[in-house]
Amino acid sequence: MLNFMLRRLLSAIPTLFILIALAFMLIRAAPGGPFDSEKQLPVEIEANLRTAYHLDEPLYQQFGRYLANLARGDFGPSFQYRDFSVTELIRSGFPVSLRLGGLAMLLALIVGISAGAYAALRQNSAADYSVMTVMMVGISIPNFVVAPLLILLFAVGLRWLPAGGLGDGEARHLLLPVIALAMPQIAYIARLMRGSMIEVLRSPFIRTARAQGLSMPRIIVQHALKPALLPVISYLGPATAAVITGSVVIEQIFGIPGLGRFFVQGALNRDYTLVMGVVVFYGSLIIVFNFFVDLVYGWLDPRVRL
């Protein structure tokens, strides 16, 4: 198991380096700069700003300086939020995004696994077709379309829930964004769970358990659930990535002061260090999540460690 963990950790290093290099080059290839505004700065002031932030250096020197600072845990200063460093902005926005994404993933797992197992146990019935039709709709409609529809229905039309913001952190302020963020993942997890559960229920060891006279609930809980969850566990890494990146749009739509709003504003303002900091932070999180998913998968199915 230790060798399995070390191999996964070593493979994450070049992945993170490629991510940093690509993000660094792409953000600088975009038109405009961090000091462009409607009011043109005097040439001398702009030159002094570029010198202060080392933007007048060649790209390879900027990249080397950024890697050196990153190794010390320094994401650099923000070009637009002058009184804050990128690390401080991430520290203030990430707890909100983590709460939103964590609740969305929890809701997706509970509803998706339950719906998928329910459909599998009633394969080819009206209930199965109904559940899978709803799940296909959830996959087809992106969350940035679902979110305004939820606001129009429950906030503007029925006036049951607030349209945006966090308020005092009450659950009713998080309900709509969590649902909008979780809906696509509910659909994917339900379809994965249904297919996996159907395959497991047709396995020889399930037939043996039935022949021994075990009840169906006991067979599901003790024998079928664990192997049926393997595809869902392996999907948790990409699902977490989808929830994290999807929260950028959802936070902007609902006016939630999370890390996603900083990312959008940083991209609009060409705030190089802020965009880079959020990309590297999110990329590192995704790598960590995938690492833990690999460990859980290896624990559930020891064959993958080979």
Check pLDDT > 70 for residue 200: yes
Beta-carbon contacts of residue 159 (< 8 Å; ≥ 6 apart): none
Q: Which two tokens stand for residue 65?
A: 């300086």
Beta-carbon contacts of residue 186 (< 8 Å; ≥ 6 apart): 107, 108, 111, 112, 115, 135, 138
Reported as a pLDDT band with limits 50, 70 and 90, residue 243 is: confident
Please report, rounded to a whole number, the percentage of residues in the chain having pLDDT higher than 90: 2
CA dihedral over 218, 222, 228, 232, signed as positive or negative: positive
| pLDDT (0 to 100) of residue 32 | 66
Please report, rounded to a whole number, the percentage of residues in the chain having pLDDT higher than 70: 86
| pLDDT (0 to 100) of residue 220 | 80
pLDDT in tens, 204-232: 887 887 788 778 778 787 778 878 888 88
pLDDT in tens, 124-157: 888 888 888 888 888 888 878 888 888 888 888 8
> Which CATH code fits 93-257?
1.10.3720.10
- Least confident interval from 24-28, 59-63, 242-246: 242-246
Cα gap 262→259, rounded to integer Å: 5
- Least confident interval from 54-63, 84-93, 294-303: 294-303
Reported as a pLDDT band with limits 50, 70 and 90, residue 110 is: very high
Q: If you average pLDDT over each of 14-18, 66-70, 163-167, 188-192, which comes out highest?
A: 188-192
* pLDDT, the chain, mean: 80
* Amino acid, single-letter form, for residue 71: A
Q: Are 260 and 97 in contact (CB under 8 A)?
A: yes
